[in-house]
Amino acid sequence: MTTWFILLGIPVLVAGLFALLSAPNASRFCLTFPRNRVAGWVLCAVSWAWTAYECDTIGIDVFDKFLKAFPMELPILAIVLTMLTCWWMPNLLPLRGVSAIFMLFPGEMFPAIRLCDTPWRLTLVVFAYACAIVGMYGMFYPWRLRQALAWLAASPVRVRIAGGVLSAIGAMFLVLAVAL
């Protein structure tokens, strides 16, 4: 559980401090990130590779018949699907990539923290469910996430408030990583 507090705490704290200490740059990032091609390609590749890993390890017999028909099928599919996604769906691809990661990480985290005997594990569970909900919404409606980021970026006060919230969550996760 400590590992998950650190893995989630550091990026959340860094994002929050960035928004708090440099609101104009954070606003510019919020406006440019949804259409950043390089970020889209990288996040798309990470998302498809992670999906292939999950399909390989989850062990559902119905899927295994098709997804493990020949050696290295899943990595090949991940590469092909990454290329096709980048080619056919370049619009708002970074938001879709982040949305996929938001949906994928709870599947790795929940089995790891399920048996931890502390009620503080629920902070990770609530955070993961919130990320999964945002991920599902963002996968189907990435333009709404872009609109939300544009709304956030329109006001330095909103950026700083979001940065404060993210900083508090990230700091709490890191304190819990050390305390537990």
Q: pLDDT by residue for the chain (180 residues), tens digit each?
A: 899 999 999 999 999 999 999 999 999 999 999 999 999 999 999 999 999 999 888 877 777 778 877 888 999 999 999 999 999 999 999 999 999 999 999 999 999 998 888 899 999 999 999 999 999 999 999 999 999 999 999 999 999 999 999 999 999 999 999 998
Enumerate residues 6+ apart whose C-beta is below 8 A from 173.
5, 6, 8, 9, 12, 13, 123, 124, 127
pTM of the prediction? 0.91
Q: Angle at CA 167, nearest 5°, toward 164 and 169? A: 110
Domain span holding position 21:
2-179
**Number of domains the chain is built from:** 1
